[in-house]
C-alpha cells in the first residue's frame, strides 16, 4: 500500500493527514465540521477555524492519522518538518491483560488478519475463551502477575 501524506495549512498551523492510518472514527468531523468535512473536496479546510481549535481537535484523533505542526517551528528549523509517526504503546495491566494502544494487525495461525485500533486487550492469564483477546477470565481465576 502506498504511503500517502497530505498537508493542509492556514499559514500558522499545518494539519498532516495520513489516510492509510485513518480508522474512520469520525471524531474529526463530528468535533469540528467547519474544518473536517468528508462531503467536500478537499475534505480538510484549514481556514475553517482558529489555530487553537484545530490543534485541540487534531489531538483527539484516536488513530494518529491526523497530526499537526506549527509553521513557525518548521521555519525555525530551516524548513525541516518534524517526523510524524503514529505510535503504538504496550502496557501490561497489573494482574490483568496486555493492552496495546494504537493501530495493529493481528494475524492468526491460518494467516487471517484483523485490523485493530485504539486499544486492544490481549490475554495474559491463559484462561480466555476468546484467545488471543482478553475476556475477563483473569478476574474469575484470580490471575496474578506472580502466577
Give the start-to-end residue ranges of the domains of the chain: 6-76, 89-140
Question: pTM of whole model > 0.75?
Answer: no
- Grid cell 486499544 is found at 119
CATH for 6-76 is: 3.30.70.20
- CA 90/CA 83 separation, integer angstroms: 21
Express as a percent the part of the chain with pLDDT over 70.
Answer: 89
Instruction: List the beta strands (DSSP E) in 57-128.
Output: 66-70, 89-92, 98-101, 104-107, 113-116, 119-122
**Alpha-carbon span 68 to 20, nearest angstrom:** 16
Q: What is the pLDDT of residues 72-124, one digit of tens each?
A: 887 777 776 666 655 677 889 899 999 887 778 888 889 888 877 667 889 99
d(CA 134, CA 98): 8
Amino acid at each position: 500500500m502506498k504511503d500517502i501524506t497530505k498537508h493542509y495549512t492556514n499559514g500558522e498551523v499545518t494539519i498532516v493527514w495520513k489516510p492509510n492510518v485513518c480508522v474512520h472514527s469520525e471524531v474529526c468531523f463530528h468535533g469540528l465540521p467547519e474544518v473536517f468535512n468528508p462531503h467536500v473536496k478537499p475534505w480538510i479546510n484549514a481556514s475553517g477555524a482558529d489555530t487553537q481549535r484545530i490543534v485541540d481537535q487534531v489531538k483527539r484523533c484516536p488513530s494518529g492519522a491526523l497530526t499537526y505542526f506549527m509553521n513557525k517551528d518548521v521555519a525555525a528549523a530551516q524548513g525541516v518538518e518534524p517526523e510524524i509517526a503514529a505510535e503504538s504503546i504496550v502496557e501490561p495491566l497489573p494482574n490483568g491483560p496486555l493492552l496495546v494502544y494504537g493501530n495493529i494487525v493481528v494475524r492468526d495461525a491460518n494467516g487471517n488478519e484483523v485490523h485493530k485500533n485504539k486499544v486492544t486487550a490481549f490475554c495474559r492469564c491463559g484462561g480466555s475463551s476468546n484467545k488471543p483477546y482478553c475476556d475477563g477470565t483473569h478476574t474469575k481465576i484470580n490471575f496474578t502477575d506472580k502466577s
